Each structure stands twice: as C-alpha cells, then as structure tokens.
Chains A and B, each alone.
Chain A
Amino acid sequence: MTPAEVEAGLREVFGDRILSSSAVEEGRDTAWPRRIDVAVDALEEVCRYLRDSQGFDRLLCVSGIDYEGYDESGKGKHIEISRYEEDGSPTPTKPGSGDLAVVYHLHSRAHGGEVAIAARVRRTEPKVPSVGQVWPTALWAERETYDMYGIEFEGHPDLRRILLPEDWEGFPLRKDYAMPSRYHDVPLEGAPLAVRTSPREVREEKE
C-alpha cells in the first residue's frame, strides 16, 4: 500500500468530498504521512472506510489547528497572540475570525502507512462528528481537543473538559485566547506575599 493508492481509493469512494492533499500541494507523492483534507460531513465515513478497507487500525492522535492569520489558500502571516508582559499583566487580544480544523493521525499496523485526515470548520460553528464509534480511543483525545480549541464533537457521549478545570473560561490554544490573571481566588501572576521570617508573623497574618 502506497500513499497514492490510499488517496486514489478515497477519491474513488468519496469523490469531491476529498478536498486536497499534501501530494497535490507539496508534490510529496511517495511520503508518509500524507495529509488529506476532507469535507466535514464526510469525516466519519472516511475514517470508517480507512479503518475497514485500508487497514488503518490505529488512531495515533487527534489535534486541532487555529487558522487565525491564514488565508483561504493556507498562506499565513505572523500574528501577535496574547501573553504576559514582563510586569505580569496580560496583553489584550481581539477576537479571531480564522477557521479551525481538526486533524486525525492514523497508522496502519498491517502495512505501516500513516495518514493525517484534516477537516476545516468555521470558527463561528466549530462542530465536527465524533469518530468515537470508529476508534473508542478517540473519545479522550476529542475531549482534549475540545478542551484546548473548543471544537465540539457531535455524537460524543461525554464531551467535557479533560485537563483544565470544568469551569475554566476560554480555549487556551486558540490564538485569540485572552490570558487570565486569576482563577477563582488563585492569582496566576502578581507580587508574592511578604517573605516570612518567623512562625509568629504568620499567625499575625492570618488574624
């Protein structure tokens, strides 16, 4: 099985719902992994087809992309993202408008091939179908992608944050994420408490 054969098989079954691939864009005809962009509505069927007919039996990872700062053709420019200044204050951001994408890296134990299936969604409506029915291991990985990018996986049985606290605001790996300076009563940046010199001072501090 070669990358070209995998892509040819996909194009035959799904036609123009296969949008583009790294072979077309970069001329990397024979190299694994091959990135293949698919339409969002075809995502689950493509994954099922790859698992059952092409032998991609292993889901390596699910990740997200924020295309803020990139145009439709994928050409990008440098943009400022929010961070902490030297004095600890967060820099402001303005809301982004670029697309989001979700990427599934697949591997085949049968023939050793690797593909990356990418699906691009609008930032205003970041919804993709869950592939938890195809590879159960996708469930946690999709929760993480939801946690970091806010991409919602439809059909996921338990779509909650997995790493951050459940009441965390915002999605940190989006480029327009506004840095927090507090989480409840926890200061995330600022000045230290007075340096303690003896146990007695601490008792006074508490009163």
Chain B
Amino acid sequence: MAAETRGPRRNPEEAFNAVGDHIGGDREQLLSFGTDEDLASVVQPGSDLVILAQVQSLFRWAQLSSIWPMTFGLACCAIEMMSAAGTRYDLDRFGAGAMRATPRQSDLMIVSGTVTAKMATRVKRLYDQMPDPKWVIAMGSCAIGGGPYFKHGYHVVKGVDMMIPVDVYVPGCPPRPEVLLEGLMRLQDKIRGKKGRLVRPKWIDDYITRIPD
C-alpha cells in the first residue's frame, strides 16, 4: 500500500481532527492542512483532488470571507464607514466590501451612528428582514451607549443593543476606519468560532509602571 511508504499511518479519525484543528486556527492558517503527513493520511491513494474538512468549518470560512454589509449609515460615524469602504482603507480586502442596498442580501449590519427613537423601529425592522446568519457591529459611542452628546438626550436610544443583539462593539467618536477594520476582523474571528479575549496592550503596562506612586 502506498500510504505505508509515507511514514506511520494514522487512524482516519485522528487525521480528520488534526485537519479540523487547523481550520479552526489562526486566520493565516485558514484552510491550510497542516503538515504534509496530515494531508497525505486523509487523501485516498489514487485520487489526487480531495479536500476533507469539517463542513461547518468550511461554511464558516465561506461566511466570514464574504460578509456583505448593508448600506446603512445613521449619522457622522457613517462618514468613517464610507471611508473604510473607500480605496484608502479598502474594506474589500477582507471580503466585506460588497455593500448591499437591501437587507435581504446582507449578512452584516454596521449600526454607524446615532439611533434616534424615530429611526429605531426602522433599524429593528431592517434587522428582522436580514436572513440568518446575520451579525451586527455597533459602531461609535452613540450606537454603543447613547453617545457622548446624547447620553442624557430625550430622543436617542441609549445603545442599539437594547433593540437588536450586537456582536462587536467598535468604540470611538467616530472610530477611525482602522478601528472598524479591526472590529470586522474580530467579527470574523467570532464567526470562525474563536473565543473572544481581552488583550491589554503592552504599552499600557509599560506606562503604568512609569507612573510615580
């Protein structure tokens, strides 16, 4: 048998899991099948065009690689969102540049701006019209918690997460396009099934040690 000449033969289940682990791994290793041995042990001799993956992982990979956001801006934050979609920051590099003008074709709602009471019912309706699976990014202080100016206002919903479930919060007033891109990548991690983790940047620790008591 050919497989025996390639080194120790793995049991197929073990090999399958090895592949699955790799698919669930880092973004850069996405759809990389690890070592040649792993790949060799799952490819049947005689057929050279087989890719074996967990179907769920494959679907997730497809979903996270082509997130289509809805064309939907509410206030000043939308300007930064447009900028993120423009040539300089180019949201399309992450597969999220196809802004759809209808909720029926969108996967992602970027709530970019102030959600007023008058608009909130429309936001909810648009969210309900989006097909599953769907995700929401709350962009800017207004969408996160009512905003720096309207926190005590009579007309603003104090956080869009009181209306619709939010996956990723992107803080700022307005967040720069880089931050929105970062939020998009965290959303991709989330779709991929990675657990979220708060990482304190190293410079904060450096800074704290330098503050006198």
Interface residues of A (CB under 8 A from B): 83-84, 88, 164-165, 172, 177, 179-180, 183-196, 199, 202-203, 205
Assuming the A-B contacts A164-B118, A203-B132, are A193 and B165 also in contact, with contact meaning beta carbons closer than 8 angstroms in the complex? yes
With A199-B133, A203-B132 given, can you name 13 additional A-B contacts, CB distance below 8 Å? A84-B158, A164-B118, A180-B154, A186-B117, A186-B120, A187-B157, A188-B117, A189-B158, A189-B162, A192-B162, A193-B163, A196-B165, A202-B132
Closest CB-CB distance, A32 to chain B, in whole Å? 31
Name the CB-closest residue of A to B195: A197
Assuming the A-B contacts A183-B120, A185-B121, are A194 and B158 also in contact, with contact meaning beta carbons closer than 8 angstroms in the complex? no
Q: Which one of A172, A188, A192, A196 lies within 8 Å of B167 (CB-CB)?
A: A196
Residues from chain A with Cβ under 8 Å of B157 in the complex? 186-188
Size of the B side of the interface (Cβ < 8 Å), in residues, is 24
Does residue B197 face the partner (Cβ distance < 8 Å to A)?
no
Name the CB-closest residue of B to A206: B128
Does residue B176 face the partner (Cβ distance < 8 Å to A)?
no
1/0 contact string of B104-143 vs chain A (CB within 8 Å): 0000000000000110110010000000111000000000
Q: How distant is the Cα of A19 from the Cα of B56 in the complex, in angstroms? A: 78
Let me know if B162 and A193 touch, CB within 8 A: yes
Closest CB-CB distance, B68 to chain A, in whole Å? 16
Closest CB-CB distance, B120 to chain A, in whole Å? 4
Let me know if A165 and B117 touch, CB within 8 A: yes
Q: Which one of B120, B162, B163 lies within 8 Å of A191 (CB-CB)?
A: B162
Q: How distant is the Cα of A191 from the Cα of B159 in the complex, in angstroms? A: 9
